[in-house]
Every structure is written in structure tokens, then in C-alpha cells.
């Protein structure tokens, strides 16, 4: 697959995710009922934070909470182990890097399942990440690093 088509696929995926987040972000953080709503709240906060940090923002988003605050406010305790695994995969797939505060908060929000969930998600092969999600070697390293931080707490 060419570089241009990979970029186009990434842009289409992000556009779909933003549309999804916009449609479901009415559910306030902390009140998400399922994995998709929890992901929408978290990803919406991530995207809005990125938009506000652009040097010449095309659009600014008022009232955006930092990602670690959103993660702290989002109650994941009602999710099953399988649902937490899906959520971790969605986050690792779409957010290349969590800073230390967001990573610690996400691990805490996942509770006692964090290490086991991250270990199971990390079993996805590099070849699958390359072929199915168009990950570069650098992006695979970021994916693995995020999962490792959930396992070890670093």
C-alpha cells in the first residue's frame, strides 16, 4: 500500500472517530454505559486537547478538560474484563502516546485488571498491526510502549 493511501486511510479513520465521538460525547464523562461511550468520551477529550494546542488553531474548543482529568472522571468499574480489553485496544490503536499523568490515571481507572488486560492486548503481532492497521515501525513501538506502561506502571 502506498504512503498516500495509508495517510488517506488514517485520515478517514480519524474523521469517522471524530464523528462518532461528536455523536456520543453527550454522555458526560463518568456516566458512560458501555465501551463505545467510554472510548468516545476519552477520545473526544484527546482530540479537543490536540486541537487547542495547534499553533494557529483552526478551531478552539472551550471547556476542554485535560486527558488525565477525563480519565479520572470516567468510571470504568462496571466494565467487564473483556470490555476493558476492548477499551485498552481502542485507546492504544488511536492515541499514540499517553503522558505520565494520563497513563497513571488510565491504569488506576482500569483497576486490578490493568496489567492482565495490557498483557493480552500486547499479544497482537507486529505483522497484524502493520497489515491491518497500517502501523509503521515507530507507531508499533508507541503501541507497545503504551501497553508496557499499563503493565509496569512506568
- For residues 100 and 146, the answer to whether their CB atoms sit within 8 Å is no
Kindly state the percentage of the chain with pLDDT values over 70.
77
pLDDT for 139 beyond 70: yes
Cα dihedral 50, 53, 57, 61 sign: positive
Exposed, middle or buried: residue 110 (CB in 10 Å: 0-12, 13-18, 19+)? buried
Res 22: pLDDT? 53
Please compute the mean of the pLDDT values over residues 85-90 and round it to a whole number: 96
More confident residue, 80 or 24: 80
Res 9: pLDDT? 56
Which of 21-30, 73-82, 123-132 has the weakest average pLDDT? 21-30
Domain ranges, residue 98 = 3-152
Q: Please count the structural domains in the chain.
A: 1
- For residues 93 and 71, the answer to whether their CB atoms sit within 8 Å is no
Res 109: pLDDT? 94
Name the residue among 88, 81, 82 with its Cα closest to residue 38: 88
Please state the pTM of the whole predicted model: 0.79
Amino acid at each position: 500500500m502506498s504512503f498516500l493511501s495509508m495517510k488517506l486511510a488514517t485520515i478517514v479513520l480519524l474523521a469517522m472517530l471524530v464523528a462518532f465521538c461528536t455523536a456520543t460525547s453527550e454522555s458526560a464523562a463518568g456516566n458512560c454505559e458501555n465501551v463505545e461511550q467510554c472510548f468516545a468520551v476519552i477520545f473526544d477529550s484527546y482530540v479537543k486537547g490536540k486541537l487547542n494546542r495547534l499553533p494557529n488553531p483552526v478551531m478552539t474548543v472551550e471547556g476542554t478538560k485535560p486527558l488525565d482529568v477525563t480519565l479520572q472522571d470516567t468510571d470504568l468499574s462496571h466494565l467487564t474484563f473483556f470490555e476493558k480489553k476492548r477499551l485498552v485496544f481502542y485507546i492504544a490503536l488511536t492515541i499514540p502516546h499517553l503522558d505520565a499523568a494520563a497513563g497513571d490515571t488510565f491504569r488506576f481507572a482500569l483497576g486490578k485488571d490493568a496489567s492482565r488486560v495490557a498483557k493480552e492486548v500486547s499479544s497482537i503481532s507486529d505483522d497484524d498491526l502493520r497489515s491491518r492497521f497500517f502501523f509503521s515501525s515507530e507507531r508499533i513501538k508507541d503501541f507497545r510502549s503504551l501497553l508496557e506502561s499499563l503493565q509496569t506502571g512506568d
